[in-house]
Structure 1
Amino acid sequence: MPNGTAYNASVEITGASEYVFADVGIMGENVPVQVGNVQLSGNCSPCTYNWSMPWGAPSSITFAKGNYTVSYLAPLQDNTLQGTFDSPYQVNVTIPEEFDVRNPLLAGISQGATVTRDGDNTTTVQWNNTVTFNVRFYDSGHEELLWFFLQFMGILVLILVVIPWLLSLKKAE
């Protein structure tokens, strides 16, 4: 989403009859992800599915076995999008023009990614055959705050280190 609080996902699955809406927790456990606007598309019109929402476990959808695309909307936390899969996937993340990933002091991208700035000022981050991905992005306000902090630190170094050192050289003469 343009405000950075949610993302739209489209996942292509093959030979599947179930899709679980889960993220990976600290200990590798499945953590439920709250999703909305779930759509299932494939060689069916319309594609139907059944929801399963067990208590304390991730929700899932079940459907006839086949090849599908599952699309959904889910919330983001701390401007970070990450995922882990059972088998390698090609992952494409399109970041809206309001956000950026080029400053390594503010952003983070897991290894193996290629970053492309597109003609419409969006940014595409792509991984080929990965079982895990992570991308952290930032807005212009965070970048301005970083530059203010770095300038402030530069002034402090000048006042607390360089000027006293110059004054000590003058006294030594």
Structure 2
Amino acid sequence: MLTAGAAEAADFTVTSPDFAGGQVQQAQFAAGMGCIGKNLSPAITWANAPEGTKSFVVTLYDKDAPTGSGWWHWVAIDIPADVTALDGGAGSDISKMPAGAVTIANDAGQRGFGGACPPEGEVHDYTITVKALSVEKLPVPPEASPALVGFVSNMNTLASATISARGSR
């Protein structure tokens, strides 16, 4: 049986032209560590956030990274509720992020987007997640880890939408 909340959450969607066809585009690959890309964060659009949404969290995660815990490429919090898209490259140049948004350090220790760079011969799944939150400001410190952001945001999530693409070199 679906409840009204579940029906609303089912309508929340995220899309990215840079994940079209299920493949990470070359521009979203790192420009270093053996990868030849532009290190540009993907363009992302979301729609149909549930009523009561006060902010968004956007993440890009590689569950296949050979770390034992995956790899957080991008974590942005406190994106205002009236924002429904991030331009391509916004995470790479955080001055292009919406006013009020906060970028958390990724697993490379850099604030902003860090491009894909799987080991040669491996195919990795990269997942963009947008969470609609019930709070305007996520109660985490500026130096929070991506894992802490995930934990606290999950406690405040009204709905979540994901899109994935594969990348290899």
Question: Normalising by structure 2, what TM-score?
Answer: 0.29
Q: Which has the higher contact order (CA 8 A, sep 6+)?
A: 2
Whose Rg is larger?
A: 1
Task: Choose between structure 1 and 2: higher strand proportion.
Answer: 1
Please give the TM-score of this superposition, normalised by the length of structure 1: 0.29
